[in-house]
A = this chain, B = another copy of it.
Amino acid sequence: MSKEIPYKIYLPESELPNQWYNVRADMKNKPAPLLNPATHKPATLEELSQVFCTELAKQELDENDAYIDIPQEIQDFYKMYRPAPLVRAYCLEKALDTPAKIYYKFEGNNTSGSHKLNSAIAQAYYAKKQGLKGVTTETGAGQWGTALSMACSYMHLDCKVYMVKVSYEQKPFRREVMRTYGASVTPSPSDTTEIGRKILKEFPGTNGSLGCAISEAVEVATHTEGYRYVLGSVLNQVLLHQSIIGLETMKACDMYDIKPDVIIGCAGGGSNLGGLISPFMGRKLRGEADYQFIAVEPASCPSLTRGAFAYDFCDTGKVCPLQKMYTLGSGFMPSPNHAGGLRYHGMSSILSQLYHDGLMEARSVEQTSVFDAATKFARVEGILPAPESSHAIRVAIDEALKCKETGEEKTILFGLTGTGYFDMYAYEKFNDGKMSDYIPTDEEIAASLANLPKID
């Protein structure tokens, strides 16, 4: 049985998933619990509920329910930009002259430009349901902030975004998209918070940092009646929401009898990779099928490939719970010259555990080779990819070229998480031949890891 595979597979709306999949339920070795940063004891629902909405805190802790119903309101919102197409990369295959079959799940066909919207709407929904007035968050490049602004606008929730000052000034487009959706965007550090005022006094003229923006957002959320803090990656709840990516993909594959051998995704905090692979990993964990999973990270920020598997802070401000994960240390500073949203020191604890258990591989790739792959892809497949997504493209191309050598007709699937329309400064650098690579030395990483918190 082999149906002709269309260029793009769109599931009918009647086939869209109405439950998320929680891979923790099928994991023999569960991810280690979050720890209270003060007591080093497992964080309780009550503690987590002071920062997150209660329903989201429950999802964060739930390691037993395999399927969670997607509320109807969220399903309705999903229908505005989902299903995301599963695309057969016929033109890329031809350009590479490979016997491999290449597919990608394209999550960029929405105004936020990425998969981030899948979790943003869920988090906004539960906040609204809890009767909150609004949410706070931080954003660096602006992808998560944009998605959250859209979700909050739809749910009639206030949205306060703390945007790293240098991005606020250098990326006015993202900022204006957020403002158009009604969010208030504050350059961080700002004089609206205690921590912001303290930093401004100590370092006048600072460009800001993600760590500082997180601290401001958390301060406002915990000090303002009716507000909570939300986060776009790393967390278990985020991987749960993002499982919609993998569920749609798996259904489309089953429908056309597509059997992926290799599944590839870029990995920063793990939201996209975790979402894409979760249901396939479930089959692997249950012994129903086997797949090769590859996480791709930047050589400049190699948490899986060169980090330690240990408890660490999720934020540089050290106010959030401790999480056991592959980490480069919460003080690790990736080179600022390097583009992309993959510059996070840690990794989702679910993915960290799966990697630790040998169920997933990881590779690191250098930036110039990533943009080289991005440009090749754009020219034949028509979509100008986000730098983050292009990490997955790089390895997908590498794998397809290996097939060309060996003659294997592997089926390669990767996640194309988003578009690069707001990343043209990075493309400009590449087009002008001014982009460079940066790989941290062993000494740098060791120095950063020396500061990991001591947990008994």
- Once the chains bind, are B7 and A181 in contact (CB under 8 Å)? no
- Once the chains bind, are A428 and B111 in contact (CB under 8 Å)? no
Q: Does A150 contact B (CB under 8 A)?
A: yes
A419/B111 contact (C-beta < 8 A), A8-B79, A173-B424 known: yes
Measured CB to CB, the nearest residue on chain B to A430 is B180
A453 to B: closest C-beta gap in Å: 41
Kindly list chain B residues whose C-beta atoms are within 8 Å of the C-beta of A172: 424-425, 428
- Once the chains bind, are B380 and A154 in contact (CB under 8 Å)? yes
- Once the chains bind, are B424 and A177 in contact (CB under 8 Å)? yes
A381–B79 CA distance with the chains assembled, in angstroms:
11
Q: Does A225 contact B (CB under 8 A)?
A: no
A424–B79 CA distance with the chains assembled, in angstroms:
26
A382–B155 CA distance with the chains assembled, in angstroms:
12
Closest 7 CB pairs of A and B: A173-B424, A7-B79, A176-B424, A6-B13, A111-B384, A153-B379, A176-B428
Number of copies: 2
A419–B113 CA distance with the chains assembled, in angstroms:
11
- Once the chains bind, are B10 and A10 in contact (CB under 8 Å)? yes
Q: Which positions 130-188 of chain A face chain B at CB distance < 8 Å?
A: 150, 153-154, 172-173, 176-177, 179-182
- Once the chains bind, are B384 and A154 in contact (CB under 8 Å)? no
- Once the chains bind, are A427 and B180 in contact (CB under 8 Å)? yes
A207–B11 CA distance with the chains assembled, in angstroms:
49
| Cβ-defined partner of A384 (8 Å) among B109, B180, B375 | B180
Q: Which positions 343-396 of chain A face chain B at CB distance < 8 Å?
A: 375, 378-384
A180/B375 contact (C-beta < 8 A), A382-B110, A382-B154 known: yes
A182/B421 contact (C-beta < 8 A), A7-B13, A80-B7 known: no
Contact with B along A418-451 (1 / 0, CB 8 A): 0101101101100100000000000000000000
Binding site for B on A (CB under 8 A): 6-8, 10, 12-13, 77, 79-81, 91, 109-111, 113, 150, 153-154, 172-173, 176-177, 179-182, 375, 378-384, 419, 421-422, 424-425, 427-428, 431
A10–B9 CA distance with the chains assembled, in angstroms:
10
A444–B375 CA distance with the chains assembled, in angstroms:
47
A1–B419 CA distance with the chains assembled, in angstroms:
40
A417–B413 CA distance with the chains assembled, in angstroms:
31
A425–B179 CA distance with the chains assembled, in angstroms:
12
A145–B77 CA distance with the chains assembled, in angstroms:
34
- Once the chains bind, are A382 and B173 in contact (CB under 8 Å)? no
Measured CB to CB, the nearest residue on chain B to A110 is B382
A113 to B: closest C-beta gap in Å: 8
Measured CB to CB, the nearest residue on chain B to A81 is B382
Measured CB to CB, the nearest residue on chain B to A11 is B10
Kindly list chain B residues whose C-beta atoms are within 8 Å of the C-beta of A177: 384, 421, 424, 427
Measured CB to CB, the nearest residue on chain B to A429 is B176
Question: Which of A12, A378, A424 neighbours the largest number of chain B CB atoms within 10 Å of its CB?
Answer: A424
